[in-house]
Each structure stands twice: as C-alpha cells, then as structure tokens.
Chains A and B, each alone.
Chain A
Amino acid sequence: MPEEKSFFKKIDITKLGPLVALAILFVISAFASPYFLQVRNLLNILSQVSFTGMIALGMTFIIISGGIDLSVGSAVAFSGGVMIIALNGLLQVMSEPLALLVGFLVALGVGIGCGALNGLIVTKGRLAPFIATLGTMAIFRSLILFFGNAGNLTVDFRYTMLKDIGRGRTFGVQNTIWVFLILTIILQFVLNKTRYGRYVCAVGSNEKVAKFSSIKVDRVRFMTYVITGATVAFAAFFAAGRMNSISTTQVGDQYELDAIAAVVIGGTPMTGGTGIIWGTVVGAIILGMISNMLNMVGVSPYLHGTVKGIVIIGAVLVQEIGKRSTSKLSN
C-alpha cells in the first residue's frame, strides 16, 4: 500500500474552489475601485461580515449534522434586545463594567437558550429542522417586537462602554474581527481535532451508522444548535454595540440567509456529512466583498441581491460539477 504522502500531493479542487473565487473577486474589486485595496476598506469588509460570519460558523456545524436553523436572525434580535433591557436595569444598580459583563452573560444565556429550544424540538420532538426553526424564528422575533414595542431598544447614551467595545479596535483592528477570528480558530479545532467534531460529521453522513456505532445522535445534534446559539449571542452583543441599540424590527433580518449562503459558498454541502470551517469564513468574506465592491463602484443597492444570488448559485454549481467529475473518475 502506497504511503500517505502521495495522497497529500493531490490537491482537492473542490475544496480550493471558494479560495479561487475569493482571489478572482479580489482582483476584480481592486480593478474596479481605487479605494478597495486600502487597509481601512479591507478591515471594514471583515468587520461587516463578522456578524453573519460568526453565526455561519455555528450554522456550519448544524448543516454538517444534516440540519438547518432559520431562527438565527430573530435570535440575534431577541438575545441582543433582552441584553439591552437587562443592561439598562443593571446600570442603575452596579458599575458599568460589571453591568456589561452580566449583560453579556445574559445575551449568551438567551442565545444558548434559543439554540437549546431549537435542539430540543428537533431531537425530542422529532420535527424537521426547517419547520422547527421556522416556528421559533417567528416566536423570537415576535417576542422582542413585543418587549421593544416594535421600536428601538437603546442603551442610555450616558454609558458608552458597550458602544466603545462594539465599535472599538485593538491593535488597529476592529474588536469584532478579533472575536470572529478567535471563534473561527476554536470551532475549526473542535470540528477537526475533537471527538465531538468527528461525531457531527458521522451523524450528518449517516445517522443510522452513527447510532449503531454507539454515538448519542440526539445529543450530538442538540449541541450543534447550542453552539450556534452561542455564536448568535456573540453576534448580538457586537451588533448591539455597533449601533448602541437593537432595532427590534430590523436587526438580524435575513441573517439566516446570509449565514446559510456563506456556509454553502464555503464548500459545505447542504446534504451534510462534511464541511469546512475556513470555507465558511471565505464564503462570508465573498458575500461582504461583493456588496462592498458594488457599493464602491456605485451600483444600485437594488441590484446587490441579483449579484449575490448569481454568486451563490454559481458557487454551488461549480462544486456540483466538480463532484460529478471526480465521482465519475473513481467509479
């Protein structure tokens, strides 16, 4: 049997696809706009995609395990909104840093709670994830509309710490980018190096085999929703910080679509079983770069959706064609 080295020499084209697309887009953008290559602009793109990007990291786990979560956008508004309500109360009774810490824990708790609820309905209730999360999407949004009277939940402008963290920079790079990076590294590690990551792939590949192989399938799937709930909480914290408020009608609107699109563009198939965390990051950046470039060039915002749609379909089409040709070769 040949050594493994020879295998590593072969480059998996399907996996590199997203990276190639990013490179092409990068060159086109550099041509199209003189501002594109400015460090400040590149950092802007990264910070703008980090919200849906964080969520997309969690979504990658769910999609690998064979599920889907449509409620993430509503959950951002819900956990962010509840955090601001809590924060405004806490600021009356404790110091600002402490209140912020507790507020963040509240957001984290609510985000994880949202994920856990989805996970329970999917595993114990045996509902299709699409239906379960379609329901919770409506519930989370409606609850926060009710709590916020369909308006804005705003942190008292005398307190600036949330805004300072949300909009602030460390070593010249936006804090959101750092958090996005750290979450990427953690989740990349979990997916590729840990037992849990292996189990997620096994469950998504073949639930029955996983069950026969003594894997607690329900627990594995439940946890993918909880992980996503946690990433939702981080996104909510920074979304709230970015605008010092949560618009109950607008925040998180269509995040689920952008997150799913990022995962799919990044090379994780909707059928599950396998997935690439850094691919999701690349997918998110591609989406952000498209709207940034169109903005810089001055294309009507109404046309952004068309370009995005073409890129999503194109990316998946290329992957499918790649897959078909490799499977033909190996037959």
Chain B
Amino acid sequence: MEDFLIKTKGISKEFSGVRVLNNIDFELKKGEILGLIGENGAGKSTLMKIISGLYFPTEGEIFFEGEKVVINSPFVAKKLGISIIPQEFNLINHLNVYENIFLGNEKRKNKIVLDKKAMRKKTKELMNKLKTVIDPDTVIEGLSVAQKQMVEIAKALSRDSKLLILDEPTTVLTINEIEILFDLMRNLKDHGVSMVYISHKLGEVKEICDEVMILRDGNFVSKANTSKISEKEMAENMVGRVLSEVYPEKVSPDSDLCLEVKDYSVDRVLHNISFDLKKGEILGFAGLVGAGRTELAETIIGIRKKKSGELLINGEKVEIKNPLDAVNNGIGYLPEDRQGTGIITNFDLIKNTTLVSLRNYGKFIINKKKERERTREYVDEFKIRAASLKTKLEFFSGGNQQKVSLAKCLDPQPKIIIFDEPTRGIDVNAKREIYFFINDLVKKGISCIFISSELEEIIGMCNRVAVMKEGSLAGILEGEHINEKEIMYYATGVKGAA
C-alpha cells in the first residue's frame, strides 16, 4: 500500500451532462513511469487535469501517499508536489527564462527583495542538467519552440516534484533533445520521482515507460508492462480495431516540372535555396528544428521578403509579393502553427473553411448558401466531427481543427500545396486519414511539399526528400537513399554540401 504515490478510485467527469471520463482507477508507484495513451478525446488530458487540480471530478476519490486528498485547485496540487508540463506552453513571452521558471515561486532575500543572483544560478544548474545552453536572461520570445519546451521542463524540475506529468513533451524536440530528456527522466526515476508520460509516439512510450495505460472514449481499456505489448497492439487497443496499413501506396509523379525555386535567399535565414517539384509529386522537407523549412515555405508564399531568387510555375516566371499572389498563382499553404497562423478559433466551421477562398463566394456580398454547401462537402469528405457548421473551432479537438485547416487550404483549389507539419499533435487515426487525403490529392495531379519532423512519415509518404541544415539545402534524396540514417547524416552535416 505504501508503495503507491498516487491512486485513484472510480474517477468520472461530466461536462454539461456528457460523460468524458468514466470510472477510472489508476495507480502509480514511486519512481515509476506510466505511459498514458489514447486517441484525441480519449480523456487523457482530462484525467491529468483532474490530478493537477484544473478540473474537479464529478465522482471518485484520489489518494496521495496513502491518504485521501481533495485536489480542488492547481495550488493544492503544487503543494502536494504534482507538476504538469502542458502541451500548450504556459510561459510569459516578454519575461526572461529565469523569471518564468520562478514565476509565483520567486526566491527572496529576507523575504522581500528578489534574489536574482540565486535564481540565475539555479536556472543555470537546471539547464546543465538538461544539457541545454540557454542564458537565464534570454527573453522567452526569442527562443525556438524546442527551447521553450526545455524551459517548461526546467520550470517543473525547479519545484522538486514528486509527480511529474508530461503532456506530449517531444512533439517539438529533435532526436538529440529527446535523448537528453529521456536520460533526465531516467535520472529522476532513480531519485524516486514518479512520472506520467502522455504521447502519440508509441515507440517512445515503449522505450521510456515501465507500464502503459490505454484509454478509449473516456473508458479504461487496458494496462500492460511495456515489455509485454507491441506498438501495433497499443495502437489497436487505442482505436479498438485492427489497423490496416498506415501509409498509402506512393504514386509516381509526372516528369513535368510545376514549380521551380531558384536561388532563394533571406537575410540570415535562408541561403541560396534551389529545388524543383514535379507534377503529382510529394517532396519531403526534413531537417532539425530551426533548419529554416517553415521560413522557406513562408518566403515562397510571400509572407517573408526574399533578398534574391526567382520562382517559376509551369515554366513561367511569377512574382509573389504577398499571400494573395500565392493563392492567385495556385499555391496553398497549411501552416505549422495551427492556432497561431492556421485557423481562427472564434470563427465557426464555415467561416474558417472559406476564409482564403472567400473571393470565390461573391465579389462584395457573400453567397452564404454556397458557403454552407461547400463546407458540408468538406465535413463529409474529411469526416470532420462537429456539433454543427456554426460551432466555433475552439470547441474542436486538435485533429478536427487540423482537418478544417486542411479544408481551408484546399478550398481555393490550389495546384501546389505546402504542408507544414500536417500531423503534429493529432492521433494515429486522424494522421492516417490525412495521409490518405494527401495521396488522393496527388492522384488528381496536385503537387505537394511535405515538411515534417517525423522522419517515419517523411519516409512513408515522399517521392523525394530535401534535407535542410541551418538555412541551406544540404541535399535531396531519392529512392533507396530515403532512410532515417541518410536523412540524419545530411541534417546534422555529416554528409552534404552545407
């Protein structure tokens, strides 16, 4: 009995009469790492929010270190030693690293004056532990997404937690950074810290977790020792059926070039990038975080000003100065940052779907009937789950939001589409759906640029793979050269011109 750090009994949660979590028992030993997996909407985040005091359960009890506790606010959770590293960052952008780490937990001299020196020192120690070099005085705004994730982790560590909840911590990290994080988790485990690890990456779950618990539609499905369950079994338990092939069969492209990018440069960001794209081709873009892939996409669609370079579409030179020029020339872009640049969360399904293509729904007055009908088509085609066409997107799950973002990108009928991390943070099922949509597009003769940090899907989807490193093109791989090892050689500079 004493072994269990935390134990729940019959936890349920209802939101306005809808049961999203049903009678969950779960227990965690001291120094144990538990993997928590399930599709989007399975109840993983809800369960963790209950444990960290953000939600209050409708039914059920929680025992912490053998005693019954009532966690009715994040403050109580913090006092017990429960920390959560959330999926969406919780950092204040204009404060610097150490101020964020010690926010609400500041060190003081004589209980009054802030002890900045001590906080800087402690921050440096934490960063050393994480094998990351981030100056404690850097303002958060200036950090990359991966660095922000490291700050979040450092923040949780600074509180000497007994239970650490990590919600999808590795989506934005590179392989190296993931290894550092795992080393650190093993280290914490040796010191008796318990962890809950939520992830869609089943390989990682198998690697780092002792046990794995699987949820589906708010219900407990199974719990197993990770050494005794395969990734495929995990995935099948998640979706509740036997999974067919994840990636569609690759389609071979035409020989005609539909897009030629020549000598693109942007000050300090991109250096002389040249490549071409064939009609009906999927060209992957791989590289480490910060290699300049998103920046390249943004330059092509006219968000960023280029210093030099030219662009040819179907052999003809075109000038793209802004996103409208890009749309008019048949280029679509599915942004990486869904909520930041992709969709408008307080707009409904219809308004989001037609935002880019609104010009096609009337010169001045919007044809609302046409808008509605069109959106309904996308809902059917992409199996978007929505209460109604008028539901605001803030109430949608990540996967459904991504499908709307996709519909929005496709509605202007682009001939060339740039997908930037199209499957980030969405579940296996939705991922698979998106792979097949993209393949259907290619069959219709549409050409795609596919930017992803998940090598597996790049390898599974692309005809050719361009690898970027520090703003330059390190190389373009074809055929049998498309494999994880080769890509990493180019991405890290072991091979390639850059």
Interface residues of A (CB under 8 A from B): 1-4, 6-7, 193-196, 198-199, 201-202, 205-206, 208-216, 273-274, 329-331
Contact = CB atoms under 8 A, between A and B. Distances in A.
Contacts of B390: 4, 7
A216 B344 contact: no
B398 interface: no
A214 B326 contact: yes
Nearest to B335: A212
A205 B342 contact: no
Interface in B2-51: 15-16
A205 to B, nearest CB: 5
A274 B322 CA distance: 26
A195 B323 contact: no
Contacts of A209: 340-344, 355
A215 B352 CA distance: 13
Given A4-B390, A7-B388, A216-B324, 15 more contacts: A2-B388, A4-B389, A194-B365, A195-B366, A198-B366, A205-B345, A205-B346, A208-B340, A209-B341, A209-B343, A213-B355, A214-B323, A214-B327, A274-B346, A329-B15
Given A6-B388, A193-B365, A214 B324 contact: yes
B94 interface: no
Contacts, number: 95
A48 B387 CA distance: 44
A206 B394 CA distance: 13
A205 B390 CA distance: 16
Interface in B285-344: 301, 303, 322-324, 326-327, 333, 335, 340-344
Interface in B338-377: 340-347, 351, 355-356, 358-359, 361-366, 368
Residue among A1, A198, A209, A331 having the largest count of chain B Cβ atoms under 10 Å: A209
Contact of A213 (B15, B365, B395, B408): B408
5 contacts: A198-B351, A201-B351, A208-B340, A211-B323, A213-B355
Given A205-B346, A206-B344, A214 B356 contact: yes
Contact of B323 (A3, A7, A201, A213): A213
Nearest to B338: A209
Contacts of A6: 388
A70 to B, nearest CB: 25
A208 to B, nearest CB: 5
B386 interface: yes
Nearest to B342: A209
B362 A195 contact: yes
Instruction: Please classify the interface of chain A as helix (H, G, I), strand (E, B), loop, or mixed, using the class held by over half of its residues.
Output: helix
B312 to A, nearest CB: 21
Nearest to A269: B346
A195 B358 contact: yes
Contacts of B140: none
Contacts of A213: 323, 355-356, 408
Contacts of A198: 351, 355, 358, 366
B386 A1 contact: yes
Nearest to B358: A195
Given A1-B379, A7-B388, A331-B15, A194 B366 contact: yes
Contacts of A195: 358-359, 361-366
Instruction: Please classify the interface of chain B as helix (H, G, I), strand (E, B), loop, or mixed, using the class held by over half of its residues.
Output: loop
Contacts of A1: 379, 385-388
A193 B327 CA distance: 23
A262 to B, nearest CB: 22
Contacts of A201: 347, 351
B319 to A, nearest CB: 15
A192 to B, nearest CB: 9
Contacts of A7: 387-388, 390-391
Nearest to B364: A194
Contacts of B368: 193
A121 B39 CA distance: 49
Contacts of A193: 365-366, 368
Please provide the 5 A-B residue pairs with the shortest distance between their CB atoms, ordered closest to farther. Answer: A214-B323, A214-B324, A7-B388, A214-B327, A205-B344
A216 B343 CA distance: 16
B178 to A, nearest CB: 29
Contact of A273 (B322, B346, B359): B346
B225 to A, nearest CB: 34
B360 to A, nearest CB: 10
A15 to B, nearest CB: 13
B39 to A, nearest CB: 19
Contacts of B361: 195
A274 B351 CA distance: 12
Contacts of A194: 362, 364-366
Contacts of B366: 193-195, 198
B365 A205 contact: no
Contacts of B326: 214
A212 B323 contact: yes
Contacts of B355: 198, 202, 209-210, 213, 215
A202 B354 CA distance: 12
B167 to A, nearest CB: 16
Contacts of B343: 209
Nearest to B409: A213
Nearest to B384: A1
A232 to B, nearest CB: 24
Nearest to B363: A195
Nearest to A274: B346
A206 B392 CA distance: 14
Nearest to B325: A214
Contacts of A329: 15-16
A197 B389 CA distance: 19
Contacts of B359: 195
A323 B110 CA distance: 42
A242 B350 CA distance: 45
A2 B387 contact: yes
Contacts of A4: 388-390
Given A7-B387, A195-B366, A329-B16, A205 B347 contact: yes
B90 to A, nearest CB: 16
Contacts of B344: 202, 205-206, 209-210, 273
Contacts of A199: 358
A90 to B, nearest CB: 34
A54 to B, nearest CB: 23
B45 to A, nearest CB: 11
A321 B494 CA distance: 58
B73 to A, nearest CB: 15
A4 B15 CA distance: 22
Contacts of B408: 213
A199 B324 CA distance: 14
B40 to A, nearest CB: 15
Nearest to A6: B388
